[in-house]
A = this chain, B = another copy of it.
Amino acid sequence: MNGNVIDGKAVAAKIREETAAKVAELKAKYGKVPGLAVVIVGERKDSQTYVRMKKKACEEVGIASFGADLPESATQAEVLAVVAAFNANPDVHGILVQLPLPKHIDEQAVLGAISVEKDVDGFHPLNIGRLAMKGREPLFTPCTPLGCMVLLERCGIPIKGRRAVVVGRSNIVGMPAALLLNKRDATVTVVHSATPKAEAEAICRQADIIIAAAGQAQLVRGSWVKPGAAIIDVGTNPIDDKTKASGYRLVGDAHFDECKAVAGAITPVPGGVGPMTIAILLRNTAESGERFLTGAVKVSGAEKKQERKGLAKLLPTREQLASPLPVLAAAVGVAAGAVLQRATAGRR
């Protein structure tokens, strides 16, 4: 912390360091490293940037990175075939499909096809279900919400028995953040687009912890904050700023200056939650690699069989995987622009 500002970069650097140590340990013990496959479809500049950042981050901690770049015109069958190949690839322990996908691709079908054992994003309904359930643990917890929790914990902010408010209920941040906070014994309220704004403000003012994940620039004002509360700001919204060469700057879902004046702790944007997302992705991948390498995948017997045996039928054989590209091309007619690449070193 710098004053009451939480240094997300520093916490993320620590997580990456711990992850690098874990990867080195696995390499020494098993002669193998965890592997992450990132699937991207289409040419969105922001998605390309995120994927590049993820691959670079993998290299830095020693995780093998695998990639599939599919053109905007890729069919759903092509995307599913790529996922199936990574499901079956024993060197891949985590699979991430960069969202959003082009409109003609069924996102649910693609995410649902990722083996739950390699779902490092934690978005599979089986993982979300386990996250919601008492006495169950998901194999993976979504990276951004888990990053929020790790920030709270590493900054010594108590959670158990405290009032927490999650602003926003997206599948990738708000909803799993609420489930996580509840699992750690906070008393959680979720406010959202159907909550009258005055009520959202009143509820936030009762909270010891606010997770702002509404995707609205500076929604949470100073007047919303109880003195001493912790604010974890997940938003990154561009707003006009003529003092910048780009003409804009990024702000969070909380009004930083106003909230900082009242809060006990607050994450900045950028440099707060952002760096945590990738750090947790790396940690999730390393944990997955460890589970596979030690043979200790923690899925209940029956569910695991449902998953495993189900996938076995969808997948190419191990021999086919020795040369993935021709097989995929033959199986689904992958377009010429689609490139399956292995990139442990060097940039894409």
User: Contact at A125–B133, with CB atoms within 8 Å?
Assistant: yes
**Interface members, chain A 40-97 (any B CB < 8 Å):** 80
A160 with B194, Cβ < 8 A, contacts A129-B129, A310-B310 known: yes
A323 in the interface (beta carbon within 8 A): no
Whether the Cβ atoms of A124 and B134 lie closer than 8 Å is no
Q: Is A132 within 8 A of B134, CB to CB?
A: no
Q: Residues of B contacting A128 with CB < 8 Å?
A: 128-129, 132-133
Q: How far is the CA of A249 from the CA of B190 in the complex (A)?
A: 37
For the complex, is A243 an interface residue (Cβ under 8 Å from B)? no
Which of B186, B190, B300 lies in contact with A112, CB distance below 8 A?
A: B300
Interface string of A233-251 (1 = CB under 8 A from B): 0000000000000000000
Contact of A305 among B179, B182, B313 (CB under 8 A): B313
Q: Which residues of chain B are near A319, meaning CB under 8 Å?
A: none
Instruction: Among A130, A186, A187, A191, find the residue whose CB has the most chain B CB atoms closer than 10 A.
Output: A187
Nearest chain B CB to A15 CB, angstrom units: 26
**Partner of A132 from B80, B132, B163, B188 at Cβ < 8 Å:** B132
Within 8 Å of chain B (Cβ to Cβ): is A345? no
Give Cα A310–Cα B303 distance, bound, in whole angstroms.
9
Q: Are A306 and B311 closer than 8 Å at their CB atoms?
A: yes
Residue of B nearest to A130 (CB): B125
Q: How far does the alpha carbon of A136 sit from the alpha carbon of B186 in the complex, in Å?
A: 26
Residue of chain B at shortest CB distance from A193 = B185
Check: A301 CB closer than 8 A to any chain B CB. yes
Binding-face segment, A17-25, A195-203, A268-276, A328-336:
A195-203
With an 8 A cutoff between CB atoms, is A309 at the interface? Answer: yes
- Measured between C-beta atoms, what is the minimum distance from A302 to chain B in Å? 4
Partner of A175, one of B132, B194, B313: B132
CB distance from A218 to the nearest CB of B (A): 21
A29 at the B interface (CB under 8 A): no
CB-defined A-B contacts under 8 Å, sample of 30: A80-B302, A108-B135, A109-B300, A109-B301, A109-B302, A110-B302, A112-B303, A124-B129, A125-B130, A125-B303, A126-B129, A128-B128, A128-B129, A132-B132, A133-B171, A133-B175, A160-B194, A169-B182, A182-B190, A187-B191, A187-B195, A187-B200, A188-B189, A188-B190, A189-B189, A302-B314, A305-B310, A306-B306, A307-B310, A309-B310
Besides the contacts A109-B302, A187-B195, what 15 more A-B pairs have beta carbons closer than 8 Å? A112-B301, A112-B306, A124-B129, A125-B125, A128-B129, A129-B129, A129-B130, A132-B179, A135-B171, A161-B196, A182-B192, A187-B199, A305-B314, A306-B310, A309-B313
- 4 smallest CB-CB distances across A and B, nearest first, come from A125-B129, A129-B129, A306-B310, A113-B302
